[in-house]
Structure 1
Amino acid sequence: MTGQGACTSTFLALLVLAIPASPALLSVSYDGTNFHLNDGITKNWVARGNFTDHTFEDGWGYLEVETNPAYPDTIQAYAAGFAEGASSQDMIYKSYRNTLEGFCEWKSQKFCDNLREFLKKNMQWMKSMIALKRQSCPVFYNIDLILTQMNGVADGYNKTGKFPIPDEAILWMNLLGDIEDLESALDPSLSNMSIEDFVKSGRTLGDGHCSALVKVLPGNTDLYVSHVTWNTYQSMLRVQKKYILPFRRTGSSDPSDTIPGHTVAFSSYPGILSSGDDFYVLSSGLTSLETTIGNGNPALWKNVTATGELMEWMRTIVANRLATDGKSWAKFFSMHNSGTYNNQWMVVDYKLFKPRKHIKPNTLWVLEQLPGIVLSGDQSHILRSQSYWPSYNVPFYPEIFNMSGAPAMVKRYGDWFTYDKTPRALIFKRDHVKVKNIRSMIKLMRYNDFQHDPLSRCNCTPPFSAENAISARNDLNPKNGTYPFGALGHRSHGGTDMKMTTSSMASGLKFLAVNGPTYDQQPIFRWSEQDFAKDTPHYGHPDAWAFPVIGHKWVW
């Protein structure tokens, strides 16, 4: 993939008839030659979009996009992207400025040049595979649709946006999770570095990316799934999305060939097609989510290549669309593993859950990825025996744990880097029994009492860290404190949201969510009080993040 030329859309003949005002209720029609953007819903719509920015009211933007199955899938995909790009163009621009503007200045121009060349080769390989296998392989058929949809987002933005952004911007925004690892994979200085030298270099900071919990209620009365994003605070411009995309598996005209995950509700960001967090509730009956495990073994980066591999964000969408259960989700996701954005994935099959019945096999599948390897399996027996599955950025599978370089981190820094004794593992183990209902689940996932909780203590000055909680608040760590590694210190990073669903909510593709750092036991996050505010872009953000938990009601 590349942002300079290789993602040019198949559908360049656009006629923009009207630019809807915000909130945007619009449709995209197609006359066989041109796409037309319409204010409101027309009778011959290919895609319709409904976008509202409520960031200052409840912390979220809301986007719904639905396509018309009477049209070919490729036409639907492009129109869906165009509707999204046009309706949310203002939020896309602000998000670009917050997360990507100046990227090659604060990284390096050399890295960006290498990245562009890598993505160009990757795009060429994907296009060759699409040409070869599009008609027979559901994976590459959907890769083609994903690229087409992304092109639509870019064209929708460019036709309606007030401010231009680089040609590569939409692609790179979708790639940000993968780019974190591509920065290491494309660094030649790491190619011959040992794990021990890598640890000593300080590059591996134990940087947390998300907390997650799958919880069986007492008496097996319900099954909750919840996720807390950990990210930089500049990323908090967020969108809850619902896509209704009745694509076929391989372009068949047979309605029975419609993909299982044709409808998805998820937390996301402006302009990107995946969640990025990730948290998805799917029409297939599955809910998928992840926390990042990372890779601290430089020897594995040689497995990241521009040809033969699909970036993680695209494989996630493919698996969500095509899978019918945890096993098939793992199969689709594992194909053409890029070794980038390395995560522990949890896939919950709500079709198998029955209240007050034992947890059935295949209710919970867990997958972990590193460059060159993917391991997955049914972990329902653990969920059944201990009534919860926690996830907190540490590999569960011993082979993945050992390959990731984690043992060297344990040797240098101690229990913080272990699977069973790291602070969040101990907090989940102690407190999951307190979950009796939705309110107590939310309370646990927003929990941070680092000044008083003994499990938040560390060999630090002061002797605790706001990183050591289910929802981190690193802005509250003293700037002049001393910490054994950077993740425990003061920085613009923490838990930035909470999402959760239940068996009944998931059946209706619904979830509860709150955006912004936790303020349950801690002060409200205010940009005006942050010492890093001047150096951290936050266009379109409210000053104070004190929003309630929202259960959004979708229109379609």
Structure 2
Amino acid sequence: MLKVVGASWQKTRIGTYILIGAGLLVIAAFFVAEMDRPEYDGTYCATALWTEKVGFQIEYWKQQNDLVNIPKGAARICYKDSIYQNGWAQLEIETQRSYPDWVQAYGAGILEGSLTWNNIYNQWLNTIGSACDKDENAQNFCTWLRDTLSANYLATKKRALARADHDQYWHQIALYFYQLEGLETGYIRGATRARSDLEEEIPFVDFLLMNSAADIQDLKIYYENYVLKESSGSQSEKNFFLPSATMFTKIFQTEASSGWQLLFGHSSAGSYSSMLRIQKRYKFRYHFSPDQRSNSVPGVDISFTGYPGILGSTDDFYIVKGRQVQSIVAGVTMRNENLELWKNIDVADAIPLTARVMAANRIAQSRRSWAKAMSRHPFTGNKQWVSVDLNKLNGLDGSQHSVDEESVPEVSANGLVWIVEQLPGRLHVEDVSNNFLSGNTTWVANGVPYFDEILEASRVPAENFSMDLPEGDDLTTLESVDKYLRLNGFRGDLLGDESVPYGNIDIKLFAFNSEIGVSDYHAFAGPIFMRFHHNQDDALTSESHVVVDLTTELEVITDRRPVRNDMRAIAMRQGSGPFKWSTVAERIPGVEHEGHPDVWDFDHVSPKWAW
């Protein structure tokens, strides 16, 4: 009897404990539900770990808010796909000096490919995939292009590895290819990890194609005029120049400040199918040679506007920082009517423009050495570049100068501004600092060569590219530069019966004040349209602005200014407003835009970097 009672009491006590425990869990659940849960903004991070025995291992950290404490490894990345929110994705990669350079490069490529694989696929589908299947001529060109780039890649990487120990330029070219190979590996890993059933695989040669976007137009001109001519016997010349981007550079003083200021504006021109955009920052701690005991390169920190799957800007806009380096590097396509310049060019020996620019950005201590690096292998890339040394601007004589037209500041700052202009096999580089500081302080680059030698060689009639500055040149704020670029831009989709899916697809604005040593940077994504700002101060530093229709003002502008001959019309004359795929798709059929927002009505973006 006692045993039975004792057993019952034991069961009762256990049941009581269970009830109490359940009650505590309910209470805990209530408190947990009331607690603030972490809110993530869609930033995903990962780390590439590497050892000689194991090789590469990738750790994915899912969504993160605490980016600073992401484990470093050989390389680490944080990526946010915010294209639908503001028109830009944002990607930041940092590598560590204690690892061999090829490990840094390959690891960075793996990380970028694995986190951005979906946008890489969409970018390839919208551009290379669709363009190469357009018709028989396109297929033939892409076949030749793939064969040419494959052979070029094998030969160039072999040459780069053989010379890397003794030539810092070639070492950087080799690292470019290591990063590209890692990108393909990461792309495959990312797609596999996501269990994605992609309709088509991207072959490695098409990664080469995407990263040769800046060269393809030149290669097509060469193909049509030299490769096909030999087989067809045709004597007609074919040039495929489309309206270029616009670049605005101004260095000046104001009466209110003794310091010098830089205003810089840049608009990219391209196909609307290419508008998957990324703000990238590569903080790569490479060395001057494969020997880890050699010094780190000056340009370790490079920010640029770019595209998925491409390891450089191709917009040609870079902000370069590092040990004793702070500079702006930017370029626009330059028109070339002299196709005879291609006669002596061996395209198999060409270095991809993106690889050349990134190598120059990294190894250049000064703007002179940047220009010198760019002078190597000037084959593809009809470009005019400007490179401004912000440290030199900081070091100018700070004394106040009169800003009236009759007073010329007596200032010399050799090395402040260099201009580099390239035609096939021709290149002119020059320090033009004093031109910018002696009254001619504003330069608008829009495809017309700056140097007489290059202008003569190009056979381009300069008068067809006039872009008059406002009377008195009152462009002294980022807002005024923004408006100027929009008024002088073009929208191919608004050309009525002549609609083409090609035009200005972004605006970048940069300012630097040497007196306080502060820079300001903003970027707008998508085909341009007129914005009218209502606020007390500079609209670009305020969240308050209103977009209104400026059709009447644009009609006045168009009547006053000659129309570009190569477009036949300024698209803006038919109105303003954001670009919308759903309203133009019927007018420009066959243009892929997978992964794009429908409406490109985005405000400016100023990236905030973690590292």
Task: Give the TM-score category using the shorter length.
Answer: 0.7 to 0.9
Measured after TM superposition, the shift of residue 222 of structure 1 is: 1.1
Taking the aligned partners of 1:319 and 1:331, their CA distance within structure 2 comes to: 8
Measured after TM superposition, the shift of residue 534 of structure 1 is: 3.4
Residue of structure 2 in register with 1:313 after alignment? 354
1:83 aligned to which of 111, 114, 123: 111
Residue of structure 2 in register with 1:222 after alignment? 261
- Mark the CA change 1:245 to 1:205 in structure 2 (over 3 Å): closer, same or farther: closer
2:387 aligned to which of 343, 347, 355: 347
Residue of structure 1 in register with 2:372 after alignment? 331
After superposition, give the CA deviation of every residue in 1:280-317 in whole Å (9 maximum; x if it has no partner).
Answer: 00012121100101433222222331444312111111
Residue of structure 1 in register with 2:216 after alignment? 179
Q: Which has the larger radius of gyration?
A: 2
Q: Does structure 1 residue 527 correspond to structure 2 residue 562? A: no
Q: Does structure 1 residue 262 correspond to structure 2 residue 300? A: yes
2:149/2:209 contact within 8 Å kept: no
After superposition, give the CA deviation of every residue in 1:476-520 in whole Å (9 maximum; x if it has no partner).
Answer: 2221xxxxxxxxx53111111111222259978862101012221
- Mark the CA change 1:187 to 1:518 in structure 2 (over 3 Å): closer, same or farther: closer
Measured after TM superposition, the shift of residue 185 of structure 1 is: 1.6
Q: Which moved more, 1:216-225 or 1:506-515?
A: 506-515
State the AA in 2 paired with 1:31. Answer: T
Measured after TM superposition, the shift of residue 267 of structure 1 is: 0.5
Secondary structure class of the residue paired with 1:187: helix
After superposition, give the CA deviation of every residue in 1:324-365 in whole Å (9 maximum; x if it has no partner).
Answer: 22211111011122x212100111111110375646222111
After superposition, give the CA deviation of every residue in 1:120-149 in whole Å (9 maximum; x if it has no partner).
Answer: 332233133224211110011111110000
- Mark the CA change 1:25 to 1:534 in structure 2 (over 3 Å): closer, same or farther: same
Q: Which moved more, 1:354-363 or 1:90-99?
A: 354-363
Measured after TM superposition, the shift of residue 241 of structure 1 is: 0.4
1:493 aligned to which of 502, 520, 526: 502
- Mark the CA change 1:387 to 1:168 in structure 2 (over 3 Å): closer, same or farther: same
1:28/1:36 contact within 8 Å kept: yes
Q: Does structure 1 residue 165 correspond to structure 2 residue 202? A: yes
Measured after TM superposition, the shift of residue 30 of structure 1 is: 1.2
Residue of structure 1 in register with 2:102 after alignment? 74
- Mark the CA change 1:122 to 1:497 in structure 2 (over 3 Å): closer, same or farther: same
- What does residue range 36-47 of structure 1 map to in structure 2 within 5 Å? 36-40=57-61, 43=71, 45-47=73-75
Measured after TM superposition, the shift of residue 43 of structure 1 is: 4.3
Secondary structure class of the residue paired with 2:315: coil
State the AA in 1 paired with 2:505. Answer: T
2:527/2:579 contact within 8 Å kept: yes
2:329/2:386 contact within 8 Å kept: yes
State the AA in 2 paired with 1:376. Answer: V
1:286/1:325 contact within 8 Å kept: no
State the AA in 2 paired with 1:140. Answer: W
Q: RMSD value over aligned CA atoms?
A: 2.6
Q: Does structure 1 residue 473 correspond to structure 2 residue 491? A: yes
- What does residue range 267-282 of structure 1 map to in structure 2 within 5 Å? 267-282=305-320
Measured after TM superposition, the shift of residue 85 of structure 1 is: 0.6
Residue of structure 2 in register with 1:364 after alignment? 417
Residue of structure 2 in register with 1:389 after alignment? 443
2:250/2:262 contact within 8 Å kept: yes
Taking the aligned partners of 2:154 and 2:121, their CA distance within structure 1 comes to: 28
Identity %: 28
Taking the aligned partners of 1:432 and 1:541, their CA distance within structure 2 comes to: 40
Secondary structure class of the residue paired with 2:314: coil
After superposition, give the CA deviation of every residue in 1:31-57 in whole Å (9 maximum; x if it has no partner).
Answer: 323211111276461111111011111
Residue of structure 2 in register with 1:142 after alignment? 172
Residue of structure 2 in register with 1:251 after alignment? 290
1:192/1:298 contact within 8 Å kept: no
Secondary structure class of the residue paired with 1:534: coil
Taking the aligned partners of 2:529 and 2:142, their CA distance within structure 1 comes to: 38
- Mark the CA change 1:66 to 1:144 in structure 2 (over 3 Å): closer, same or farther: same
State the AA in 1 paired with 2:56. Answer: F
1:211 aligned to which of 246, 249, 268: 246
Taking the aligned partners of 1:260 and 1:500, their CA distance within structure 2 comes to: 24
- Mark the CA change 1:374 to 1:189 in structure 2 (over 3 Å): closer, same or farther: closer
Secondary structure class of the residue paired with 2:582: helix
2:157 aligned to which of 127, 135, 143: 127
Q: Does structure 1 residue 439 correspond to structure 2 residue 484? A: no
Residue of structure 2 in register with 1:539 after alignment? 594
- Mark the CA change 1:365 to 1:508 in structure 2 (over 3 Å): closer, same or farther: same
State the AA in 2 paired with 1:248. Answer: H
- Mark the CA change 1:526 to 1:31 in structure 2 (over 3 Å): closer, same or farther: same
State the AA in 1 paired with 2:59. Answer: N
Residue of structure 2 in register with 1:456 after alignment? none
- Mark the CA change 1:508 to 1:387 in structure 2 (over 3 Å): closer, same or farther: closer
2:524/2:603 contact within 8 Å kept: yes
Measured after TM superposition, the shift of residue 525 of structure 1 is: 1.1
Residue of structure 2 in register with 1:482 after alignment? none
Output the TM-score relative to the length of structure 1. Answer: 0.82
State the AA in 1 paired with 2:218. Answer: D
Secondary structure class of the residue paired with 2:81: strand
Structure 2 residues without counterparts, runs of 5 or longer: 1-40, 62-68, 400-410, 531-549, 551-575
Residue of structure 2 in register with 1:398 after alignment? 452
After superposition, give the CA deviation of every residue in 1:154-175 in whole Å (9 maximum; x if it has no partner).
Answer: 1100111233323322211111
- Mark the CA change 1:536 to 1:34 in structure 2 (over 3 Å): closer, same or farther: same
- Mark the CA change 1:395 to 1:341 in structure 2 (over 3 Å): closer, same or farther: same
Secondary structure class of the residue paired with 1:57: helix
Tell me the number of residue pairs that the alignment of Structure 1 and Structure 2 aligns.
485
2:165/2:291 contact within 8 Å kept: no
1:139/1:332 contact within 8 Å kept: yes
- Mark the CA change 1:69 to 1:504 in structure 2 (over 3 Å): closer, same or farther: farther
1:226/1:499 contact within 8 Å kept: yes
Q: Does structure 1 residue 511 correspond to structure 2 residue 504? A: no
Taking the aligned partners of 1:99 and 1:207, their CA distance within structure 2 comes to: 17
Secondary structure class of the residue paired with 1:282: strand
